[in-house]
Amino acid sequence: MQNIHSPLQAQLVQWLVAPGANVADGDVLVILEAMKMEHEIRATQAGRVGELYFQAGEAVTEGEVLCSLMPVTDAALQPLAPAASTATAPLSKDRADLQKLQARLAFTHDAARPEAVAKRHAMGLRTARENIADLCDEGSFVEYGALAVAAQSRRRSADDLMRNTPADGMVTGIGTVNGQRVVVMAYDFTVLAGTQGMRNHQKTDRMLGVALHNHLPVVLFAEGGGGRPGDVDVAIVAGLNLATFASFARLNGRVPVVGVVAGRCFAGNAALLGCCDVIIATKDSNIGMGGPAMVEGGGLGVFKPEQIGPSEVQHGNGVIDVLVDDETQAVAAARHYLSFFQGAVSPWQAPDAEALRHVVPENRLRVYDTRAAMQGIADEDSLLMLRTGFGVGIHTALARIAGRPVGLMANNPLHLGGAIDADAADKAARFMQLCNAHGLPIVSLVDTPGFMVGPDTEATAQVRHVSRMFVAAAHLRVPLLSVVLRKGYGLGAMAMTGGGFHETLATVAWPTGEFGGMGLEGAVRLGYRKELEAVPEGPEREALFEQLLAQQYDNGSAINMAATLEIDAVIDPADTREWLVAGLEAGRVRPCDGSLAIDTW
C-alpha cells in the first residue's frame, strides 16, 4: 500500500475519486487550494483508492496523508467506481484566451489597414514593418510593445485606437542583421504621421535601455513629424521631462547607432536622427528641426514640407552621410554599415593589385582621383563611402582589407589640390572618432600640400577646425597606418598621419611620394629668396628656380625620406595590401576605458 501525502499546507477543494476506484498512474485524485491557486494531486502508480482521510473544505498540512493506494494486478484494474479522466487535453489553437490574443494582434499587422498601406505605396514608400522585415534576417524580429495604442482614450473609442493607432505609431523590437542582434525602432508614418506619442516614447526608452545594457547596435527609422499634442490621457503641461533624448544620446560612442530616413523627418524625430553615428537618407527626404507648422508658428514664413531641409541641402552640408535613391537601397546601406562592426568575414575577394601602380600619374602635376586607390586597397564590393557631399577635400569610407573591417580616409587632389580646409578637417576628425569609438583600425592615404591658407580661409575659423584632426588623432586607441601616395607636405600631412609620421603603426610611401615642410615651390621661393633676387629677373632667374626646385624635390623624394628614417619604407603600390594586412595583424585595439564620444558634426 502507498500513502498519498499533501505536498503543501492547503485546503482540500474536491475529491475526484471515490474509495475503491481504480486509477492509473498520473490520474488526478484530489484538488487542493493554497494562496488562491489550485494544485492537482496525482497518483504516482496504478492502484485502487483506499480510505479518504479528509473531506472537502478541510485544511491539511504539508506531509499529511490524504488517502492510500493499494496495488492491484492489471487484470484487476476494472473500474469499481467512476474515476476522473486525467488524460491531457489535445493541444489546440482554439482556446478562448489564445483566440483573443490573435484577434488583437491582427490589428497590428499591415494587412489590417489596407487603405493606409495603399496610400503609402502610392507615394513610392514602404511601411515601417516592411522596412524592418527587409532589414532583419528572415523571421528574426521579435516585437516589443505591439499592443500599445495612442494615449487618447478620453477622446477616442478603444476600437478606434486599436484600429487606427497600432503600436502607437512606433514599431520596436530586437532582430538579427547579418546574424547578430540589433535593436530596431521604426516610426510608422501611417499612424498619426509618425509623431512621438506618450506610449511610443515609453517604448523607445525601454528599447534604448535594452540596447545600452546589452551593448546592442540600434537602427532608427526616423520618418515623422515630431511631438504629438493630442495625447490627453496623462496630465502634462510641456512634457519636457522626457528621458528619450538623453537616453538616445547616451548610446553615443558605446554602440553603433544608425538613422534611416525616407520622406519627412522633423522636430523631435530629427533631433534623434541627429544623434546617430550615420544618417542614411533617400533623395526624396526632408529633414529639419522644425516642420512647416512650427516654422509658420514662429513667424518665419509659410513653406511646404518639401522646401524644408531637402536632401540636396542636407547632403551638401554634411547632415546626410549616405544618400540613396529609395528605401530598398537605404536598408541595404544600413545592413552594409552594420557589417563593419560585426567582425571579420570570409571569404573575400582582393582587387587587382597591379592596378595600384597606375593610380598616380607619372606627371607629378597631374591630378587624379584617390578613390581609385581606396577601391584598389579594399576588398571587392566592401567600400562604403561616407559623407560624400560634404568636406570633399578628404574622402572617408568604411571598407574591408582581407576580410577585416577598417576605416579609410584619403586626401582629394581634385579639390584645392588636396589642401585641407575647415570642412574636410571636421569630416576627418569626426571620422577618426567614429572608428576609434567602435574599434576600427584606420588607413590614411596621404596626398596633400598641407592645410589651406589665405584670408578667406581664415574667415572660416580654419585654425580651430583643422586642429581637431590633431586632437582626435591624439586620442586614438586603434592602429593608424598611413600610405603617402604623392604629396606629404607640412602640417596637413602630419595631421593625416596622427600628428606626425612616427605617430602611426607604419608610415610608408609609394615611389611617387614627395615630402617637405611645406610645398616645394613655396619652400624654394621663401628659402632661397636672396639667391633668386641676386639673379636678374627673367629666364636666368627661372632657370635657377627650376634648378633649386629639382634639388628640393630630389632631397624630399620618398627614397631619401626612407633613407633618413623619416618614413618606414617605400613600397611597390602593388604590395600595399600586404603591408596593410601585416599592420592590421600586428596592431592592437586598446580597451575602451569608458565612452568615447563621437561629435554629432
567 and 450 within one domain: yes
For the record, the C-alpha cell of 5 comes out as 501525502
157 and 196 within one domain: yes
pLDDT at site 592: 82
497 and 531 within one domain: no
256 and 119 within one domain: yes
292 and 236 within one domain: yes
Going by C-beta distance under 8 Å and a sequence separation of 6 or more, which residues neighbour residue 53? 64, 65, 66, 67
Residue 28 lies in a domain: yes
459 and 427 within one domain: yes
Residue 89 lies in a domain: no
Going by C-beta distance under 8 Å and a sequence separation of 6 or more, which residues neighbour residue 6? 32, 41, 60, 61, 62, 63, 64, 65, 66
pLDDT at site 93: 65
Residue 345 lies in a domain: no
pLDDT at site 75: 44
pLDDT at site 555: 82
Residue 474 lies in a domain: yes
Distance between CA 266 and CA 434 in Å, rounded?
25
Residue ending a domain, choose from 307, 339, 371: 339
Residue 234 lies in a domain: yes
58 and 127 within one domain: no
CA 183, 189, 191, 196 dihedral sign is: positive
479 and 358 within one domain: yes
Instruction: Give backbone dihedrals phi and psi of 47, rounded to 5 degrees, phi first.
Output: 175, -170
Residue 85 lies in a domain: no
Instruction: Enter the pTM of the model.
Output: 0.88
pLDDT at site 263: 94
Number of Cβ within 10 Å of residue 484's Cβ equals: 28
pLDDT tens string 218-235: 999 999 998 888 888 777
178 and 293 within one domain: yes
Give ∠ CA 521-526-531 in degrees, rounded to 5. 100
Q: Assign residue 63 the CATH number of its domain.
A: 2.40.50.100
pLDDT at site 91: 60
Phi-psi region of 24 (alpha: psi -120 to 50; beta: other; left: phi over 0): beta
258 and 326 within one domain: yes
Q: Assign residue 371 the CATH number of its domain.
A: 3.90.226.10
Mark the ranges of the chain whose per-residue pLDDT is less than 70.
Answer: 73-93, 594-595
What element of type H or E holds 544? helix 539-555
Distance between CA 187 and CA 261 in Å, rounded?
10
Could you say which DSSP state residue 136 is in? S
Residue 212 lies in a domain: yes
8 Å CB contact between 13 and 34: no
Domain of 27, in residue numbers: 2-76
171 and 183 within one domain: yes
Residue 188 lies in a domain: yes
274 and 213 within one domain: yes
The beta strands (E) that lie in 347-479 are given as: 384-386, 394-401, 404-411, 442-448
Residue ending a domain, choose from 45, 76, 107: 76
Residue ending a domain, choose from 275, 310, 339: 339
Split into its structural domains, the chain has a count of 4
